[in-house]
């Protein structure tokens, strides 16, 4: 029996997953790391920490494996998207990575529109200039830390840097490159035109592979440290949402997924590169060859719940925090939450907006707040679903993955708010499963990712929308949408009082 490993380099933790050729999970290990948030709007991590925690996790995975390590044939990756890692000419890290949920770059987004033009940017990259994407981060470093950009010889995305440390080879791949605003998404090549216009060297962009492309094998040092064989094949991998889609079997038109990790994503498969959403949702290359996906993003989805837990119930587990969630009536006894803890992306690209609890009452308990947080996150994701439906897409079944799919009541809330059937798979680790599938496909175990999905993914349970609940949520959703409108001006006024 042969084995493959998927490494999911998430925002809250790295998860390593081993599966066998029959698609059975053999073991999984997870190691957490923190966010560095020095100022309001800033979000960074140390790339060294990703490598250390992945090494520890793989070492543990191998130590617990009772087969022959030479049978672990392939490894691949799923990575948090957009994060900027800059390397000097000796391939040493020049500064902390600036992450996808860092919104310091509003000024640089405006510069991109002024220089490139909104229309051309959309034509080439299929996406608008958003604070979270990589190019605005490069321009921020150019403007505020010019001595660092001068020393940079290449930029990398988070999982690409990890792969480099494991193989000694520098690459990126299409699905993650799509989130940089430097890729010509339709042509699948770096856009020299955009590099020239914004004044960055195109040599900063790493060579590109397809997601299942072979990037190399493990370095002798990495193999020795983890106990893996040097001959283990390492495949490029994909953006976490592309991998989440692969791991959920979103490999054909008409399939949709909701992922609640640190961020929240509603994603839909696209067969072609030319559907027009006018930049309202992201349009990226899939990890499946020559395919695409569109998605809307809530910046602080699972993060809103983990912020709430860390602030008000630090010592407790999510299970204990959410005990009794299903006993609180729809609408959390009159409490509404908007999850704008770090600003928002879809449908409002707004770095200034912040979260609110509306309707606090002396009778509210902690569990009412927890229910309001969960409902607010779900309403926010529903705004992306609304965009898809308004564009003519039918969304009646959604695969739900990520940490948020661990709670049954939340899954029913998703069904009722989205007014769609929610399917939970046997593993909620969609991105890690997708990464493992890329290794399995890369190793030649299957003729296509779809054939692999038929073996590696299985439905566990499904949740149908309850008509009476759907009606109540429709009424609440209208109120929820009004909170953004009503609090936008207040947050602009409060901005100068934030941590800076
Ligand atoms: N038992 C649980 N019930 C509900 N939500 C949970 C539970 N465990 C974790 N979560 C949510 O899942 C999030 C982490 O999901 P995960 O997919 O691991 O994130 P990431 O890939 O961003 O690291 C947490 O922020 C938390 O909100
Ligand atoms: O910015 C995006 C997508 O555009 C995020 O979805 C990141 O890719 C981080 O994902 P998680 O850590 O929440 O899975």
Note the pLDDT of residue 245. Answer: 97
Is the confidence at residue 276, as pLDDT, over 90? Answer: no
Which residue from 298, 47, 295, 282 is spatially nearest to 178, judged by alpha carbons? 282
For ligand 1, the distance from its centroid to the CA atom of residue 13, given in whole angstroms, is 10
Given a cut of 90, whether residue 428 has pLDDT beyond it is: no
Pocket of ligand 1 (CB under 6 A): 10-13, 261-262, 302-303, 305-306, 318-319, 322, 402-404, 406-407, 410
Contact 355, 337 (CB under 8 A): yes
Does the annotation list 82 as a binding residue?
Answer: yes
> pLDDT band for position 274 (50/70/90)?
confident
> Average pLDDT over the chain, rounded to whole?
97
- Ligand 1 centroid to Cα of residue 417, in Å, is 19
Closest listed residue to residue 106, CA positions, set 85, 86, 129: 129
Confidence class for position 202, pLDDT limits 50, 70, 90: very high
349 lines ligand 2 (CB under 6 A): no
Q: Which of 203, 158, 144 is nearest to 14 (CA)?
A: 158
Q: Please tell me the predicted confidence (pLDDT) of residue 295.
A: 97
| Centre of ligand 2 from the C-alpha of residue 307, in Å | 16
Tokens matching residue 474 = 């429709």
Identify whether 116 is preceded by a cis peptide bond (ω within 30 of 0). no
Is 240 designated active site? yes
* Predicted confidence (pLDDT) per residue in 35-86, tens digit: 999 999 999 999 999 999 999 999 999 999 999 999 999 999 999 999 999 9
Helices 467-494 and 366-390, axial angle in degrees (round to 10): 100
Mean pLDDT for 385-414 is 96
Nearest CA to ligand 1 atom 21: 10
pLDDT score recorded for residue 478: 98
Looking at residue 270, its pLDDT comes to 94
295 is an annotated ligand-binding site residue = no
CB 369 within 8 A of CB 333: no
Report the complex ipTM. 0.97
- The whole-number average pLDDT for the span 245-266 is 95
The C-alpha atoms of residue 294 and residue 247 are separated, in whole angstroms, by 16
Nearest to 141 by CA among 186, 72, 200: 200
Residue 278's pLDDT band (cuts 50, 70, 90): confident
Residue 4 half-sphere exposure toward CB, CA atoms < 13 A: 31
3-state secondary structure the chain: CCEEEEEEECCCEEEEEEEECCCCEEEEEEEECCCECCCCCCCEECHHHHHHHHHHHHHHHHHCCCCCHHHEEEEEEEECCCCEEEECCCCCECCCEECCCCCCCHHHHHHHHHHHCHHHHHHHHCCCCCCCCHHHHHHHHHHHCHHHHHHCCEEECHHHHHHHHHHCCCCEEHHHHHHHCCEECCCCEECHHHHHHHCCCHHHCCCEECCCCEEEECCHHHHHHHCCCCCCEEECCEEHHHHHHHHCCCCCCCCEEEEECCCEEEEEEECCCCCCCCCCCEEEECCCCCCEEEEEEECCCHHHHHHHHHHHCCCCCHHHHCCCHHHCCCCCCCCEEECCECEECCCCCECCCCCEEECCCCCCCHHHHHHHHHHHHHHHHHHHHHHHHHCCCCCCEEEEECHHHHCHHHHHHHHHHHCCEEEEECCCCHHHHHHHHHHHHHCCCCCCHHHHHHHHCCEEEEECCCHHHHHHHHHHHHHHHHHHHHHHHHHHHHHHHCCC
Q: Is the CB of 80 within 6 Å of ligand 2?
A: yes
Q: What's the pLDDT tens digit per position in 360-385? A: 999 999 999 999 999 999 999 999 99
Residue 408 corresponds to which tokens in the numbers above? 């049954």
Taking the CA of 43 as reference, the closest ligand is 2
Main-chain phi, psi angles of 312, to 5 degrees? -115, -5
CA 473 – CA 62 distance, rounded (Å): 47
- Tell me the mean pLDDT in the region 439-465: 97
pLDDT at residue number 166: 98
State the pLDDT at residue 375. Answer: 98
**3-241 architecture in CATH?**
2-Layer Sandwich (3.30)
Does residue 275 register a pLDDT over 90? Answer: no
Residue 350 sits at φ, ψ, to 5 deg, of -140, 110
In the chain, what are the domain boundaries? 3-241
- pLDDT of res. 127: 96
Over residues 270-282, mean pLDDT:
90
Task: Spell out the residues 6+ positions from residue 283 whose beta carbon is closer than 8 angstroms to its own.
Answer: 126, 127, 185, 270, 273, 275, 277, 292, 293, 294
What does the CA dihedral 478, 483, 489, 492 come to, rounded to 10 degrees?
-130
pTM of the model: 0.96
Q: How many CB atoms lie within 10 A of CB 284?
A: 29
- Ligand 2 geometric centre to CA of 264 (Å): 7
For ligand 2, whether the C-beta of 82 sits within 6 Å is: yes
- Percentage of residues of the chain with pLDDT beyond 70: 100
Residue nearest to atom 8 of ligand 1 (CA): 403
Q: What is d(CA 472, CA 64) in angstroms, rounded to the nearest whole number?
A: 49
**pLDDT band with cut points at 50, 70 and 90 for residue 97:** very high
Q: What is the pLDDT of residue 429?
A: 83
């Amino acid at each position: 029996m042969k084995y493959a490993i998927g490494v999911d380099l998430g925002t809250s933790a790295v998860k390593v997953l081993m599966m066998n050729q029959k698609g059975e999970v053999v073991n999984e290990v997870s190691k957490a790391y923190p966010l560095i948030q020095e100022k309001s709007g800033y979000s960074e991590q140390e790339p060294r920490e990703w490598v250390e925690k992945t090494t520890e996790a793989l070492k543990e995975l191998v130590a617990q494996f009772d087969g022959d390590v030479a049978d672990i044939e392939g490894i691949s990756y799923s990575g948090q998207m957009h994060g900027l890692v800059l390397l000097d000419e000796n391939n040493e890290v020049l500064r902390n990575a600036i992450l996808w949920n860092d919104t310091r770059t509003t000024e640089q987004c405006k510069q991109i529109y002024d220089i490139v033009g909104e229309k051309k940017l959309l034509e080439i990259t299929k996406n608008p200039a958003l604070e979270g994407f990589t190019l605005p981060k490069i321009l921020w470093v150019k403007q505020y830390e010019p001595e660092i950009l001068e020393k940079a010889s290449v930029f990398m995305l988070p999982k690409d840097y990890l792969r480099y440390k494991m193989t000694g080879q520098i690459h990126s791949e299409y699905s993650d490159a799509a989130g940089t605003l430097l890729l010509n998404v339709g042509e699948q090549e770096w856009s020299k035109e955009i590099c020239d216009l914004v004044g960055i060297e195109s040599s900063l962009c790493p060579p590109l592979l397809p997601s299942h492309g072979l990037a190399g094998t493990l370095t002798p040092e990495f193999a020795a440290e983890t106990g893996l064989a040097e001959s283990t094949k390492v495949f490029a991998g994909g953006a976490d949402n592309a991998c989440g889609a692969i791991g959920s079997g979103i490999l054909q038109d008409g399939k949709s997924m909701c992922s609640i990790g640190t961020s929240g994503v509603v994603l839909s498969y696209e067969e072609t590169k030319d559907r027009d959403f006018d930049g309202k949702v992201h349009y990226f290359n899939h990890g499946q060859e020559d395919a695409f996906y569109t998605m809307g993003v809530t910046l602080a989805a699972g993060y809103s719940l983990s912020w709430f837990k860390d602030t008000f119930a630090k010592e407790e587990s999510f299970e204990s925090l959410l005990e009794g969630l299903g006993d609180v009536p729809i609408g959390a006894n009159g409490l509404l939450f908007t999850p704008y803890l770090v600003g928002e992306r879809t449908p409002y690209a707004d770095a200034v907006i912040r979260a609110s609890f509306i309707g606090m009452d002396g009778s509210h308990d902690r569990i009412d707040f927890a229910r309001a947080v969960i409902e607010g996150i779900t309403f926010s994701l529903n705004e992306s679903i609304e965009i898809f439906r308004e564009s003519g897409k039918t969304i009646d079944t959604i695969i739900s993955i990520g940490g948020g799919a661990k709670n049954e009541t939340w899954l029913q809330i998703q069904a009722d708010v989205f007014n769609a059937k929610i399917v939970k798979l046997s593993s909620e680790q969609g991105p890690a499963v997708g990464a493992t599938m890329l290794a399995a496909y890369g190793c030649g175990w299957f003729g296509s990712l779809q054939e692999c999905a038929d073996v590696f993914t299985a439905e566990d349970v499904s949740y149908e929308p309850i008509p009476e609940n759907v009606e109540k949520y429709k009424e609440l959703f209208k109120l929820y949408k009004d909170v953004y409108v009503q609090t936008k001006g207040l947050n602009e006024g409060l901005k100068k009082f934030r941590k800076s």
